[in-house]
Amino acid sequence: MSEQNVSEPLVSTEGLKKYFKVGKNSYLHAVDGIDLSILPGKTLGVVGESGCGKSTLGRTILKLIQPTQGKIIYDGKDISGYSDSQMHPLRRDMQIIFQDPYSSIDPRMSVIEVIAEYMIIHRVYRTKNEAYQRASELMDLVGLAQRYANSYPHELDGGRRQRIGIARALSLDPKFIVCDEPVSALDVSIQAQILNLLMDLQDELGLAYMFVTHDLSVVKHISDDIMVMYLGKQVEKAPSDELFANPVHPYTQALLSAIPEPNLKRSREKEMHVIRGEVSNPIDPGPGCRFAPRCEYCTEKCRLATPEMTEVAPGHFAACFRITDKEEKAQ
């Protein structure tokens, strides 16, 4: 990792790993050595296709699942070994917004009860009434009309339900929120409303986000920095504009060229760069670059050794032998 910036990161990880046992002696390498850092008030976008471990990463950082190895540093303290009771006070600072607004809310609680629930659990206020009062302020903050306070989740549409999820996550005044695909279940016009809301809240409350998504145009819109994941590994990491202007890893390049752009000229000019094959098996992967089987530049070396993250430009890292080899040649 490069020199730390002047301001200390709020959340960071070092060599974070999460393996799931799937058989007698085999393990699924869901998250495999991730280093990241998120500054207060900033957004890290984590992109990748299904099964690349991005959601597992989000949940591991919040310690909703126990990491197998590595450090999770929150506000200067390594919390990777914390027990549930040690985590409990920290939960107020670290929240999550889930992908599916249909299944992440208790259908038997009214809107106001859902939003007040965390405040009651954490005894933020002395009386329930105060919690409900705060919940109704939160409804205003996320743009939910007060008339829905006593409605039940099934009476609301997806966009409004996602607003409940956001209000609930904000109820404990967190500093850090993991947004796990918060807009992918929504229609585009509603998606734009929610994205704007999340960005406004960040400006207002100084929140740090880890924004997990498979949608590159969304991630570009909302993130300061972006990390691209492939099969549990980080393959490229850079400030948002830099990554889109100058992607160096073959997987990032393929990912960018695969997005259908809603623009006739660009979609016709764009070379269709279809990568062959599919994501390989994450169970007990052998040595070598995880992307090698699908990579058009793959060499012998790629199959045998694992490339490390190397800095290609200030703040821009990628894990590919093409880059390191080029540098060696230059020297």
Partner 1 sequence: MFKKKKQVTQNMSPVLEELFDPASTDTVIDVRDLWVEYQSDIETVRAVNGIDLTIRRGRTFGLVGETGAGKTTTALSILRLLPAATGRIIKGEIVFNGKDLLELDENLMQAARGNLISMVFQDPMSALNPVYTVGEQIGEAIRLHNPDLTEEDVDKKVEEMLSLVGIMPSRKVEFPHQFSGGMKQRVVIAMALSCEPELLIADEPTTALDVTIQAQVLAMIKDLRDRLGTSMLMITHDLGIVAQTCDDVAVMYAGEIVESGTVEDIFEGEKHHPYTRGLFDSIPDLSSRSERLKPIPGLMPDPTNLPEGCFFAERCPYAEEICTKKHPGVYIEGEHRILCHRFTKEEADE
- How many residues touch partner 1 under the rule CB under 8 A: the total is 43
CA distances from 22 to 17, 29, 54, 57, 66 (A): 16, 10, 19, 18, 16
Choose between 264 and 330: whose C-beta lies nearer to partner 1: 264
User: Considering the complex, what minimum distance in angstroms separates the CB of residue 316 from partner 1?
Assistant: 18
Choose between 270 and 301: whose C-beta lies nearer to partner 1: 270
Choose between 265 and 329: whose C-beta lies nearer to partner 1: 265
User: Considering the complex, what minimum distance in angstroms separates the CB of residue 73 from partner 1?
Assistant: 29
Q: How far apart are CA 36 and CA 16, in angstroms?
A: 9
Window 4 to 43, contacts with partner 1 (CB under 8 A): none
* Reduced 3-state DSSP string for the chain: CCCCCCCCCCEEEEEEEEEEECCCCCEEEEEEEEEEEECCCCEEEEECCCCCCHHHHHHHHCCCCCCCEEEEEECCEECCCCCHHHHHHHCCCEEEECCCCCCCCCCCCCHHHHHHHHHHHCCCCCCHHHHHHHHHHHHHHCCCCHHHCCCCHHHCCHHHHHHHHHHHHHCCCCCEEEEECCCCCCCHHHHHHHHHHHHHHHHHHCCEEEEEECCHHHHHHHCCEEEEEECCEEEEEEEHHHHHHCCCCHHHHHHHHHCCCCCHHHHHHCCCCCCCCCCCCCECCCCCCCCHHHCCCCCHHHHHCCCCCEEEECCEEECCHHHHHHHHHHC
172 binds partner 1 (CB under 8 A): no
Site string for partner 1, 227-266 (x = CB under 8 A): --------------x--x---------xx-xxxxxxxxxx
User: Considering the complex, what minimum distance in angstroms separates the CB of residue 184 from partner 1?
Assistant: 11
User: Considering the complex, what minimum distance in angstroms separates the CB of residue 277 from partner 1?
Assistant: 9
Among 34, 39, 62, 218, binds partner 1 (CB under 8 A): 218
Site string for partner 1, 47-66 (x = CB under 8 A): --xx----------------
Window 123 to 162, contacts with partner 1 (CB under 8 A): 157, 159
Residue 314 CA to chain centroid, in angstroms? 23
275 binds partner 1 (CB under 8 A): yes
**Residue 234's beta-bridge partner residues?**
229
Choose between 241 and 325: whose C-beta lies nearer to partner 1: 241
The residue range among 63-71, 91-99, 217-225, 319-327 that interacts with partner 1, by the rule CB under 8 A, is 217-225
The residue range among 53-61, 101-109, 117-125, 273-281 that interacts with partner 1, by the rule CB under 8 A, is 273-281
274 binds partner 1 (CB under 8 A): yes
217 binds partner 1 (CB under 8 A): yes
298 binds partner 1 (CB under 8 A): no
Which residues, other chains included, contact 64 with Cβ-Cβ below 8 Å and sequence gap of 6+?
Answer: 96
102 binds partner 1 (CB under 8 A): no
Choose between 159 and 307: whose C-beta lies nearer to partner 1: 159
Residues that bind partner 1 (CB under 8 A): 49-50, 157, 159, 187-193, 195-196, 199, 214, 216-218, 220-222, 241, 244, 254-255, 257-267, 272-276, 278-279
